[in-house]
Structure 1
Amino acid sequence: MALFLLGGRFFKHRTDINRAVTASQSYCSAMASGRQHVNGVDLFYEKTGSGKHAVLLLPGALGCTRTDFGPQLKYLNKEHFTVVGWDPRGYGKSRPPDRDFPSDFFERDAQDAVDLMKALGFGKFSLLGWSDGGITAMIAAAKNPNMISRMVVWGSNAFVSQQDLELYEAVRDVSRWSARMRQPMEEVYGADVFANTWKAWVDGIAQYAKRPEGSICMELLPLISCPTLIIHGEKDPMVPNFHPQYLLKLIKGSQLHLMPEGKHNLHLRYADEFNKLVEDFLED
């Protein structure tokens, strides 16, 4: 079966894309958006809800609030939560600058995320991080323990293994993808920018394999003190099952919830189940 791609991640069904796009279109009327100058760049953000519990959504590789979190921005409880989506520097509407991938790009994103929330007036908040966004969230939580209330991560890893490298390399060349796979990201970036940025991302994530044990943020995991929920789709084609098990072992007091039919995009494919799971955890 053909794979589809949205927000830098794979989809098995066209209905997954339709649902995410429909949600993205329909929440816009209830959404406040803007740009905030943070650490030398203008970061685009969207905000919805009026709840006392602030929640920041952190997107995956090349992803942004538009592509990655439509069902969460629309359906998470707006009375209980104030939900903020953002485009990391060089992604989505947070351009210029063009995206680059120095050796500390996850740390840079984590600092940007925390400083954006500070600039928006939030002194304490929770994190929902998907894929690369989960890595960013874990770094932010480890380095800012007094600011992070709770954290949910899914489709994320703390190190790069040889198996991971093979998965990344297999999707490097976007010209080998179907037109339907490329379309959502080409609509955001244009064909050439998307292709070049994706290749740069593959190189950027691969550089961690040269570190001891392939570490991205392994040494930071024991420093995470906030209640943490790890969600993993057992059919995730991009993140092998040993990654969530490792996070569970190293993040003190964390919980692991497995979704037997879940793939990498479980928060979109199974949005109702995911949102209920997240709301119950955040309100616990």
Structure 2
Amino acid sequence: MAHQVEGTRGAPRLLLLQGQANSHRWWQHVRPLLTDRFFTVTFDYRGTGDTARLQRDSEAEDETDWSTRQFAADAAAVLTALGARSAFVYGTSMGGRIAQELAIARPDLVRGLVLACTTPGGAVATERSREVRLALASPDADARLRTTVDLFYTPEWVAARGGYQRVPRHLFGDPAISRRDASRHLRMSAKHDAAERLSQIMAPTLILHGVHDVFAPAVTATALGDLIPGSEVWVHPTGRHGFFDEFAAEVTARVTDFLTSPQGRG
């Protein structure tokens, strides 16, 4: 499992969990805002980044049925290998689903939790609309790009970067992931269902969402807040699915304030 560390080694550990079908590069705008206060840890999920290369070089192919529980176990293994007795955890999108499973299965490892633009899954989750799913499946590559950009970022952000073809694409999937593994990520994310177990989360929890997120509708933040005891919910007033990246300075400051506060430290 390929992993990356940045920051001061004596600082509190912070595990960053990226979205579906993405490598650690998902965090390239956010991570530099965290390394002065935390020793940040990332790892490339199965099928992505350098982990995919290690998989290809291995004689034994991974044929397991991937799940958010399994990826949470991977996350725990990475932290343990680094000698971490506990860590803060910040998960976004599918990474938030993995973070839920980690906090449930290993409460000893998770000292504080941030969940952004994510969902509990199951019957209480509000899924994206049929229109969004159809637009993402368009056979027209340019149309798919415009749809994806609009789901993640505001029109003002896109215009400031010179239009759709010039926007950074580090949130739109690891270009090295295979179609097979991308499909496995999609299925595991869709199968996630922690709703009935979220009451087991003991870590102080901050839940973040963008009010105009239709990729993972913002109402799911309320559902998470209702299910995780003592959690705090904050909704960005203009953000979409990539609000944590577009408004990185503002959102990351809120994350840092929470995790370094008496409430966030537990």
Structure-to-structure mapping, 1:60-209, within 5 angstroms:
60-66=19-25, 68-78=26-36, 80-95=37-52, 96-97=54-55, 105-160=67-122, 163-164=127-128, 166=130, 167-168=132-133, 170-172=135-137, 176=141, 177-178=144-145, 180=165, 188-190=174-176, 193-206=177-190, 208=191
User: Distance between the aligned counterparts of 1:184 and 1:217, measured in 2?
Assistant: 28
Tell me if structure 1 keeps the 8 A contact 2:20–2:173. Answer: no
- Rounded to whole Å, the distance in 2 between the matches of 1:217 and 1:104 is 16
Cα–Cα, structure 1 residues 279 and 49, in superposed 2: closer, same or farther, change >3 Å? same
Is 1:46 the counterpart of 2:5 in the alignment? yes
Distance 2:217 2:15 in 1: 26
Could you say if the C-alpha distance between residues 252 and 162 of structure 1 is closer, same or farther in structure 2, counting changes exceeding 3 Å?
closer
Q: Structure 1 residues 72, 241: CA separation in 2 closer, same or farther (over 3 Å shift)?
A: closer
Q: Which has the higher contact order (CA 8 A, sep 6+)?
A: 2
Q: Which runs of 5+ in 2 are unaligned?
A: 146-163, 262-266
Moved over 3 A (4+): 98-104, 160-170, 172-176, 178-190, 193-206
Displacement of 1:219 = 2.1
C-alpha distance in 2 between matches for 1:186 and 1:144 = 30
Q: TM-score normalized by structure 2?
A: 0.76
Residue 90 of structure 2 contacts residue 113 of structure 2 at CA under 8 Å; is this kept in 1? yes
CA distance in 2, matches of 1:226, 1:175: 44
Aligned length: 232
Deviation, structure 1 residue 203 = 3.8
The answer for the alignment partner of 1:58 in structure 2 is: 17
**Matched residue SS, 1:189:** coil
Q: Distance in 1 between matches of 2:139 and 2:179?
A: 6
In 2, Cα distance between equivalents of 1:244 and 1:164: 14
Distance 1:76 1:62, change over 3 A: same
- Decide whether the 8 Å contact of 1:56 with 1:125 is kept in 2: yes
**TM-score, reference length from structure 1:** 0.72
Do structure 1's residue 281 and structure 2's residue 258 form an aligned pair? yes
Shift of 1:75: 1.6
Q: Which has the higher strand share?
A: 1
